[in-house]
Amino acid sequence: MAKHMRRYVWFFSLIFLTALLIFSSSQGVVAQEDLDNDGILDSKESQLASMYAPYLHFVAGEKFFPTNVSYHIDKSVLYLKSDDTNTLIDSSPTIVSISNYSAGDYFLNNTLGTFEDIAEDYEQKKESLGYIVYNRVTKEAENFVVQYWFFYAFNPGSLNQHQGDWEMIEIILDSTETPLYVVYSQHFAGERATWNNVERIDETHPRVYVALGSHANYFRPYQGKLGLESDIVGNAFTLEPSDLQIVLLGEKGIGNHPSSQDWLEYGGRWGDWAKLADISLGAAGPRGPGHGENEEKWSDPVSWGSDAFLVNQTWFILSLIAFYFLYIFAGIIAAIAAFKVWRIVKRKKQGKLNLMKILRSKAGVGVVLGIVGIALYLIALLLPWYVVSGNIQTTALETIGETDLVLIDGVNGLRVNTLQSDQGLAQLFGLGIPFGIILLSSVVLNVLDLIGVEKAKSLSRTYIKSGITSLIPIIIIIVFITQLAGLITPFANAMAGGATIPPQIDEMAKRMSSSPIMGEYSSSLDSYGSLDISWGLAIGSYLFIAAAITKLAAGIITRKAVVPEKLEKIKKQETKKEQKS
């Protein structure tokens, strides 16, 4: 009996062990799943997604944060654009239905329409929507790539405004999963920094500073002033990894992602596209991950990242100086002004303030001319320095008569007309301080020199130097315009993601570069319409020239008046000596 019992025990034990092995094996298969068929285990993707999840820092006043694509899809209708004709395709699109449109000029138009309406609706639903970040882990050659994609419902940038906004950051790892560098998207381009130059929390979580409205991503909270758009960056509100709902993305292609991610197949635009020209104006919605301007980021992430602008500590120092330029400049000017005031007080005590004496002398005419020159310079600061105007009548773009397209002045610096009806002129670049303030400081210092003058000769030197420096704004503008032909293509790439420049625009830029002081250009844009452009120095620039001439004349007259006075003084001294002898 005992012998039979041992056989039964052995038999059931064998069955139990077999079942256990089968169960363990099946668990192992689940743990080794690769549902997106990219050759990277899903468990590894989850691990890397969590390890490198970013801290997102936003500026006070930001209206939009990363959200679910469903929020936009549910409020949109799908159109197909043919020339400037929009045909309704689907009045109630879904994640699944839009996947059928992988190519073509389709666009999802949010029916709420305006920035204000979308912002109000999003604010009401922001908490319930949560903060969604789409993560993708892939490989290119031997490198692991960890990407985080952010979808914003609207892009109210200073240079362009459009529904929908796709941004991305990526961390590039070597074959041993050691981080090499990080790339942040910015205005159709990006910046790249080595891992050691990236601010991080808990070693692996990069800090990302998101620009107000444009949602461009930066490595430091003081960046943005050296770029094209003069972005505002800060750290008023932070989304930590624990605040983010990270959605692991599969790959494009049927069977490589769950049905909830079928939107990956959609190749149209994620926002309104009213006119053909909206692409070049930056007013059309962007294409999504893996499509259009975002195709290379998806298919060749390492190659795209390696072409991005490399920033380092030197660049960060320059960015820091640009960010605090107002304070640095104000401090320097205050120190110089304080020194001049101290010298005025000292000379007054010594009885050496001779402005009134010089005014009554033969040098008085030069002094008065110098004051006139300073006044002309001051007025010039407040007026336009350079203007490009145009009358554009095309099927794609149209202005209401002649309109200022580019304007340079002392208050706002360089501004361009985006030709979006509700935006007008938008500033390019920026140092956080109007150009005119920088030049105004020279006026203040000139006035202090005038008040504290001791000798007419020193005042003459001041007028001559001031006259020469009065031409600096004009020289800078002319040099810039002469380089315009070479800048037009990079500018178009930044604004419109590499849109083709019509040959007429290229020809116009060449004309301006060859004749920067004044000129005009007229042409027809094939069958689209006509283009009439004029450009030239504006009244402010001519006042700068007048101020320079006046100051130089004042300096010369003052200097010439000094010579007879010296001779007369010498004669008086000689006469006194003779009388004593």
Among the listed residues 529, 508, 523, 534, the one whose alpha carbon sits nearest the alpha carbon of residue 397: 529
Beta bridge partners of 531: 392, 523
Is the distance from CB of 143 to CB of 174 less than 8 angstroms?
Answer: yes
pLDDT of residue 396: 60
Backbone angles phi, psi at 139, to 5 degrees: -135, 145
pTM to 2 decimals? 0.79
pLDDT of residue 491: 60
Q: How far is residue 113's CA from residue 108's CA, in Å, rounded to a whole number?
A: 11
pLDDT one-digit tens code per residue, 425-476: 766 665 555 677 778 888 888 889 888 888 888 888 888 999 998 898 899 8
Is the distance from CB of 247 to CB of 147 less than 8 angstroms?
Answer: no
The ranges of the chain with pLDDT < 50 are 1-5, 8-12, 14, 16-31, 564, 567, 570
How far are the Cα atoms of 64, 214, 427, 484 from residue 488, in angstroms, in the given order? 31, 22, 17, 6
What sign does the CA torsion over 554, 556, 562, 567 have? Answer: negative
Q: Is 327 exposed, middle or buried (0-12, 13-18, 19+ CB in 10 A)?
A: exposed
pLDDT of residue 538: 94
pLDDT of residue 302: 96
What sign does the CA torsion over 117, 123, 129, 132 have? Answer: positive
pLDDT one-digit tens code per residue, 130-186: 999 999 999 999 999 999 999 999 999 877 789 999 999 999 999 999 999 999 999
- Three-point CA angle 472, 558, 464, nearest 5°: 15
Q: How far is residue 402's CA from residue 534's CA, in Å, rounded to a whole number?
A: 10
At 31, list the tokens. 């743990």
Q: Backbone dihedral region of 204: left (phi > 0), alpha (psi from -120 to 50 degrees) or beta? A: alpha
Distance between the two ends of the chain, CA-based, in angstroms? Answer: 157
Is the distance from CB of 111 to CB of 76 less than 8 angstroms?
Answer: yes
Helices (H), 52-178: 69-73, 95-98, 115-129
pLDDT of residue 527: 54
pLDDT of residue 16: 46
- Which strand (E) or helix (H) includes residue 11? helix 2-31
Q: How far is residue 548's CA from residue 463's CA, in Å, rounded to a whole number?
A: 9
Q: How far is residue 322's CA from residue 327's CA, in Å, rounded to a whole number?
A: 10
Is the distance from CB of 151 to CB of 67 less than 8 angstroms?
Answer: yes
Is the distance from CB of 424 to CB of 406 less than 8 angstroms?
Answer: no
Q: Backbone dihedral region of 376: left (phi > 0), alpha (psi from -120 to 50 degrees) or beta? A: alpha
Q: What DSSP string runs through 394-405? A: ESS-B-SSSEEE
Among the listed residues 291, 278, 293, 292, the one whose alpha carbon sits nearest the alpha carbon of residue 161: 278
Among the listed residues 370, 65, 457, the one whose alpha carbon sits nearest the alpha carbon of residue 239: 65
Beta bridge partners of 151: 166
* Residue in the structure block whose two tokens are 């010498």: 570
Q: Quote the distance between the C-alpha of residue 269 and its chain's center.
A: 22
Q: How far is residue 180's CA from residue 170's CA, in Å, rounded to a whole number?
A: 11
pLDDT of residue 30: 42
- Collapsing DSSP to helix, strand or coil, 92 comes out as coil
